[in-house]
Amino acid sequence: MTGGAEAHPRGLRPSAWRAPNPALILFEVTIELDQSVSPLWHGHAFANGSYHFGGRRARAQAQPKHRTAGDQADQARDGRCREHRGLGMRHSQGMSVLARRRPWRASRRVALVSGVLAAGLVMRAGAEAKQACVRRTFEGSTFTVCTFEARGSELRLAPWTRTGKPLRGFAALASELGDDARRVEFAMNAGMFDADGAPIGLLVAGGIALHAVNTDDGSGNFYLKPNGVLSVDRDGGVRVESTAAYATRRSESTWATQSGPMLVVDGALHPAITHDGVSRTIRNGVGTRDSHAAVFVISEAPVSFGRLARLFRDELHCENALYLDGAVSSAWIPSAGRRDSSHALGPMVVVLARQGAGTSDD
């Protein structure tokens, strides 16, 4: 769920209590009884739609239930004060549930408002929120936006096989990863390369420099200064910065790739990028919002440099962003059933869930 005011079905409202497991959501169910005090329950709803109420006393603070006009009329007829009388807990088949109980007597009409359906919808929304990649629309163009969070995922750069042969595509990357391929959240092309698939700029993999920083002048996007570097340092910090800034910092990188041009530099668009130039192609890039996260983007249709740059600055709020490539831009997103294979690639970036954080099937 997002913040702000939300409408909830009658008898169903979120509690301020924080569940210990993010796969659970607390909900409230009201059972209304004619001429009687209605019990009020709190319980955990599970992804499979099951729930359980029960018995033993546990410590907690009951919150007063909001009274509707109907509740007040029932109370006036019954002449009884609707106070919460206790809190119970039962453990059954590995599921815990909190329930507030009050004595009540049988009546002629019972209406049960169940929170199971709503809880299931929230559970589905929560599962979707965990996806590493989402679709975003910006200025009429559709982009796929994939987020790398250093605390929960690991990033690697993959230029070639263990025997030194360029990988050239995601099928070879999956083979090279072996069992780790099940942990892939997403992968993209990451850095410009020559006709054989070898990088033309800086490449550091596993702390080993495979190609030095390239500060030469030349023609083409890579040489449109300032160009830049995506790096993950040994302290875990994630950075996108100009090549000059990277060289000055003399960082000790575990992973690094050089490309160009920079799209956004310290919050400003690259000075050579026009608002919406005539050059349109599938493009991808990467930007950073803080030292622990990077945002990778690939367009789903041809776009200009300017639109891609503004997406990073204005929509994704990246202070720095780097162009990775165009025309050959490709992605592998197992959760979406996507693995592009139309182009031969050079260096690739692959983001994997950390061990124990879950797996993905191709």
Radius of gyration of the chain (CA): 27
Give me the residues paired with residue 229 across strands: 241, 258
| pLDDT of 320 | 98
Region 212-234: mean pLDDT is 96
Region 254-280: mean pLDDT is 96
Region 193-212: mean pLDDT is 95
Mean pLDDT of the chain: 74
Q: Give CA 69 to chain center in angstroms.
A: 42
Say how far apart CA 50 and CA 52 lie, in whole Å: 7
Contacts of residue 267, defined as CB under 8 A and 6 or more positions apart, other chains included, come to 313, 319
Which tens digits make up the pLDDT trace of 275-287? 999 999 999 999 9
Cβ proximity of 187 and 173 under 8 Å? yes
Portion of the chain with pLDDT greater than 90, in percent: 57
Query: What's the token pair of residue 175?
Result: 């083979």
Region 248-266: mean pLDDT is 95
| pLDDT of 345 | 96
| pLDDT of 343 | 96
| pLDDT of 162 | 82
Region 159-176: mean pLDDT is 91
Which tens digits make up the pLDDT trace of 87-135? 333 333 433 333 344 444 434 433 333 343 344 433 443 444 468 999 9
Query: What's the token pair of residue 336?
Result: 């979406």
Tally of residues, the chain: 362
In 3D space, the residue among 34, 40, 45 whose CA is nearest the CA of residue 65 turns out to be 40
pLDDT band at 250 (very low <50, low <70, confident <90, very high): confident
116-120, 213-217, 232-236, 256-260 — which is least confidently predicted?
116-120
| pLDDT of 183 | 97
Cβ proximity of 319 and 266 under 8 Å? yes
Can you say whether the dihedral through the CA atoms of 41, 46, 48, 51 is positive or negative?
negative
- The beta-carbon contacts of 168-174 under 8 Å, at least 24 apart in sequence, are 168/197, 168/344, 168/345, 168/346, 169/341, 169/343, 169/344, 169/345, 170/330, 170/332, 170/339, 170/340, 170/341, 170/345, 170/348, 171/339, 171/341, 173/332, 173/348, 173/350, 174/332, 174/362
ω into 261 cis (within 30 of 0): yes
The upper half-sphere exposure of residue 219, i.e. CA atoms within 13 Å in the direction of its Cβ, equals 0
355 phi and psi angles, rounded to 5 deg: -55, 130
